[in-house]
Amino acid sequence: MKQQNKSRHRKPNLQQNGNDKEKHSSVQSEKDSKNRVSLELVIFRTSFAIILVGFLVYGLYMNYSVAKSSDRVDGRTVVQRDDGDTFVELDSDIDDTEDGTVSSKEQQRKPSVKQEIPVKLSEKSETETPTEKKPLQPSKTDQTQKSRLSKSQNQNGGKSQKNNKQKTTTLSSGNVKEIEKEVEEFKATYLKKMSPKKIFVDGRRLPPVELLPQKPNNSSVRVFLYDEFLSEQECDGLMRAHDSHVKESSKINPLICFDTIETLRKHIKTARKKVKVTPADFIPGTFCVNETFSRQLSGWLKSNWSYSTAFYPGESKFSKIMEFRVKEATQLLPENGGKFQITSYPQGIGYKTHTDCIEDNADERDRMATILVYLQDVEDGGETKFPELGIWVKPRKGRALVWNNMNEEGKCEALSVHNAAKVNKGHKYILQRWYYYKNFYSLGKRPPEPELPVRASGTPRVNCDEYEKGSCRWYDEWNYEHLVDYRNQRINLK
């Protein structure tokens, strides 16, 4: 009996031991499974953290690289890429404020920061027929016209003189003496010839191609062509900046100026308007008609003119890039160069036959050479023609023309005469710069604008001259050619 009882008790003990082993094995497997899951989760989280840190480091590196390799000057972002390619992006909706910070609130874009330096020589408008470049300024008689101008303003829309008065430069006597000393110590440099050669720009090979005259002549004028002188990005950026500035400036009606009252009468006759014109329609002391009449003329003439905007050396990084490229290709010295001017020609617009220098002029401070770059193809028309040489060139994006207007003795070559054919289809854009035979202190510096006519800040001007041969041209800046006293002084010096 006792043995049976023992055996009876053993069976349950064996079964329990088996269950305990199974239970222990199950618990152990669950622990192993949990450990594997925890290990995989740790590996996943660690990998994710490493990848995230890598992206953050890469992003910081890229931001630093872009900030280091780009400059923003006057609404233009000039980027020097790692491969050496330099291009220009010009934004129209962001301005540079006076303290150097960027403001997105002001939508009116200014082409540059003016250098308010009193100069004795004001560089004339670049697309106009050259005139005497003597050290002239409007005389003090212009100041006596202010009271009369106030009355004229009241008749031209009722705007107060406070709102319309231009900002003038105020310099201390110390600054004036310092500038006078700089003028006295200035040593002129002469630029007697150009020497075109092959250069390489951003991987582009730019050989000069001389355009030989098709008519026999004994002139020293030579015309050279460079294709792809500017890249597509540079051309596009310049056109965007120009269009944006013209659009913003055109919100203010321009004041229209004429060479003579007869030119004005001929324009009115062409517009088929019967209006009696008298000297009273002109702003006192100027050859510009008053604001009310200018507004009427803009409608009658249907704003049928070219548009020119200017920027000066040092006002943008591109100006430095451009003048260096020109020097490398042609040996034209930057210190003998004037301002840069972008001009656009809408359909139906061209420019008269003219020389860039003044014939029979004893003054050596004249335009020795011209470089002109087409910023866009033109479907039909818009050619640059040298009628006396039998040379004509079709606009092509990035193509540059360069030629001399004067010989090595400093005399204006009459056979350098040229014109811009009318645009029959499309829109023409060009960038121009003029290089002078003898430079002078104010060359390439933005001159202070004249006080007359009193006008709203940012008011553009339109010049119309020589009705039969000339054309009307819109400008974003003012020179002295429209002032009566300035012209009288110039005539007396001839």
Structure tokens at 144: 């006596």
Classify 22 as helix, strand or coil: helix
Percent of the chain, pLDDT > 90? 60
183 contacts 117 by C-beta, under 8 angstroms: no
Residue 97 token pair = 């404020």
Mean pLDDT, residues 232-246: 98
Note whether 254 and 459 are within 8 A (CB). yes
Residue 78 in this model has a pLDDT that exceeds 50? no
Q: Are strands 86-90 and 428-436 parallel, antiparallel or unpaired?
A: unpaired
Mean pLDDT of 228-233: 98
Pick the CATH number of 199-492 from 1.10.472.50, 3.30.70.260, 3.90.470.20, 2.60.120.620: 2.60.120.620
**pLDDT range class, residue 114, cuts 50, 70, 90:** very low
Residues 106-122: what's their mean pLDDT?
A: 35
Of residues 298 and 11, more confidence is placed in: 298
Kindly tell me the sign of the dihedral angle through the C-alpha atoms of 314, 331, 83, 225.
positive
Q: Which residues contact 116 (CB under 8 A, 6 or more apart)?
A: 169, 171, 448
pLDDT at position 468, please?
77
CB 110 within 8 A of CB 417: no
What is residue 29's predicted lDDT score, i.e. its pLDDT? Answer: 60
Whole-structure pTM value: 0.69
Which pair of structure tokens corresponds to residue 39? Answer: 């290990």
Residue 48 phi, psi (nearest 5): -60, -40
pLDDT band at residue 491 under the 50/70/90 scheme: low
In the DSSP assignment, the letter for residue 447 is P
Convert the pLDDT of each residue in 423-466 to its tens digit. 999 999 999 999 999 999 999 999 999 999 999 999 999 999 88
Q: Spell out the domain ranges in the chain.
A: 2-70, 199-492
Tell me the β-bridge partners of 288: 257
Which pLDDT score, from 0 to 100, does residue 383 have? Answer: 98
Q: Which two tokens stand for residue 450?
A: 């004249």
pLDDT tens digits, residue range 198-214? Answer: 999 999 999 999 999 99
> What pLDDT is recorded for position 48?
76
